[in-house]
Every structure is written in C-alpha cells, then in structure tokens.
Amino acid sequence: VCHSEDMLYRPGYEQFKRLGGKGDFFRFLHATGKVDERMASAEPDKKRIYIDITEDMVMSVNTQYAGNTVGLKKLALRLAIRKADREGWLAEHMFLMGSRGPGGRVTYFVGAFPSACGKTSTAMLPGETILGDDIAYLRLMDGQMRAVNVEAGIFGIIADVSAKGDPLIWDVLHAPGEVIFGNVLLKDRMPYWLGMGEEIPSEGENFIGRWTQGAKGPDGKEVPPAHKNARYTIRLRDLANLDPNFEDPQGVPVGGVIYGGGGG
C-alpha cells in the first residue's frame, strides 16, 4: 500500500510540516488485519471501510483491494468531492490530456468515462500528451476553467495492454525501473496477463496461488491465468508522452469535456 502511494502521489510531508498540524488535509488509516500464508486477507468477510466526511478521515481494515486501501485514490476522491462542493470547484473521475493541432496549437481535454472504459487508452492516443488518466480537479480561475491532476502515477488495468496497442505503456512495463504488478501470472519471475499478445505459460503463480491450465475455482469454473482486473502501477514521469505542463500548480486551461462509456 505504501509503495503504491509513493509511486502514485507527490510527497507532501514538507507542506504538512509547514501547516504545523493545523491545516486542512485528509487523513487515512489502513490496517492489514489477519493474513494467510500468502499474505492475503484471512478475514475478508470482516472487511470494513469507514468514511467520515465531517473529519475528512477514512479507516479501512481486512481488505487488500486498492480502491479500499490506497487511500489517496478513490477514498480521497470521495472526500474531495464533498470539499469541492462546499468550496465551489470540482473533483472529478476524469482523464486529462493535451491534443495537438495546426500551428503548434494545444487544446486540453478532460474526459469522464466509467472504470475500464478507456480513460487511459484515450489519454495515451498517439501524438498527444497525457497529464492524467483518472482524477482531475477543476477550478474556475479568472473566468477560465483550469484542471490539474493531483496524482503522479497510473494505477491501470493491464488486461489487453500490448506492444502494438499500447507501445508507450508497454515500454515502461518492460524497461528497467519501478513497476508494481498485481494479480498477473508469474512464471520464472516474469509477469503475464490477459490479452498481452504473447504466449502465456500453462503454469505459474497467480491470484489463487499455484496455477495450471484448466485449474478450477471453488465455483467449479476454470480459473484464467491472470485476473481480468489485474493492474500495473507506474510513475507518469516515466512515460515518453508526458505533457510538459504536468507539474504546473496552476493547471492547464480546459478546452473541452469528453463523455464516454462502455459498449454493452
């Protein structure tokens, strides 16, 4: 959890010290709880996530799903939505990208798609630049809507990420550096996932433990080599198409809003 947050967000300890403990900030407390021999939650039936919107605090226990444990992501978004509503700005589940046009023109777009409906792939369109793929804060400044990505990394669904379809992400996943893989298949210390465009081994370690082709779960259904919601965590700064204005605290001017969804 801590490693993921270190990759996904900018460190704010110095700012915290400057506030002297009196500032307006979100607080998160996560406890692993009892674990089994694989370090997985042993009591998932006792998982609890408490969100206190009056004290800007979230507490979670007996859960390992990132949406419940990586506090600065979706849990922080819930607190930020309330804060934004009270202060007159917006905290949105949106990507943020720059689109190039004639004469060097750059238009920045935010896009609201549900989870697993293409926010990351849209923000990574060839020839364009990415500022974020998941969360955007929007504020009206001097009559102009501006947006900033409060995250510094990507926690993305890895299924169907391939060298052909997602070359820039593929390069980061295979380059020497820092990547966290979750719920993929491991064989000889190499990760494999669904739809990667390469041959997947017939055995290895995955989310059920030791896995072989044809293995069945408690429900009697065949277990895939990797989970359909398997994930990767990378730093945005490692992407070749990161927008040069990514670190601008004033954000970027919003030229349009895109809405999308998944095909049924």
Taken in order of first residue, the domains within the chain and their CATH numbers are 2-87 (3.40.449.10), 90-156+234-259 (no CATH)
Q: Where are the beta strands (DSSP E) in 22-174?
A: 27-31, 48-52, 57-61, 90-92, 95-100, 106-112, 129-132, 136-141, 144-148, 153-157
In this predicted structure, the answer to whether residue 264 has a pLDDT above a threshold of 60 is no
Residues 6+ apart with CB under 8 A from 117: 260, 261, 262
Of 14-18, 108-112, 133-137, 145-149, which range is least confident?
A: 14-18
Phi, psi of 91 (to 5 degrees): -120, 115
Show the DSSP H helices in 45-129 as ranges. Answer: 66-69, 74-87, 119-123
Say if CB 46 and CB 68 are below 8 A apart.
no
Mean pLDDT, all residues of the chain? 93
In this predicted structure, the answer to whether residue 258 has a pLDDT above a threshold of 90 is yes
The identity of residue 165, as a single letter, is G
Residue 65: predicted pLDDT: 83
Rounded Cα distance, 78 and 187, in Å: 38
Burial class (CB in 10 A: 0-12, 13-18, 19+), 262: exposed
In this predicted structure, the answer to whether residue 125 has a pLDDT above a threshold of 90 is yes
Kindly name the residue from 117, 152, 179, 180 that is annotated as catalytic: 117
**2 annotated active-site:** no
- What's the pTM? 0.90
> What digits encode the pLDDT tens for the residues 69-105?
887 778 899 999 999 999 999 999 999 999 999 999 9
Residue 263: pLDDT band with limits 50, 70, 90:
low
In this predicted structure, the answer to whether residue 29 has a pLDDT above a threshold of 80 is yes
